[in-house]
Amino acid sequence: MKKFLHFGFSALVLGLFFTSCNNDDDYNTIESVDKIKIDSVRVVNDTMDVFSVQSIRTYSTYPSHCQGFYGYDYIHNDNLTRTVTAYKYITNGPCTEKTYTSANQINFSPQQIGKYTFKFWNGGNNWITKTIVVQ
């Protein structure tokens, strides 16, 4: 039994060694994260039921393929107001300078009845405002 455990442990260590030595450089390092304006927003239903789920899609234009969607800053300003800011990552890799548009989404599941106001950052002091009535 002791030899079996020794062999199993040796195989595990050897497997980890070969796995960790895999020098896979097919990725680019994220250099920074910055805001990116939301060009447009698509809300399918402007009324919905409490506790249901709706996907809200946002669209942003990126100047090159070295940039892409990183995440949202989703702030509850009060019970019924939300501000949403999108962030992009910027990598250090070689990239094409071709612009492209990316769609991303937020899943909204209201917990109370009311008139929800969403403000999506559109650059500077500009916001795209959408309202969803929850019944």
pLDDT at 95: 83
E strand or H helix that includes residue 105: strand 100-108
Judge whether 62 and 79 are in contact, CB under 8 Å: no
pLDDT at 9 over 80: no
Question: At residue 6, what are phi and psi to the nearest 5 degrees?
Answer: -65, -45
Judge whether 54 and 48 are in contact, CB under 8 Å: yes
- pLDDT tens digits along 93-127: 888 889 999 999 999 999 999 999 999 999 999 99
pLDDT at 12 over 80: no
Between CA 38 and CA 123 the distance in angstroms is: 8
- pLDDT tens digits along 18-66: 554 555 556 789 999 999 999 999 999 999 999 999 999 999 999 998 9
Give residue 5's pLDDT band: very low, low, confident or very high (50, 70, 90): very low
What are the structural domains of the chain?
26-134 (2.60.40)
> Can you tell me whether residue 79 is helix, strand or coil?
coil
pLDDT at 52: 98
Between CA 64 and CA 13 the distance in angstroms is: 42
- pLDDT tens digits along 77-95: 999 999 999 999 999 888 8
pLDDT at 25: 58
- Strand duo 54-62 + 67-76: pairing: unpaired
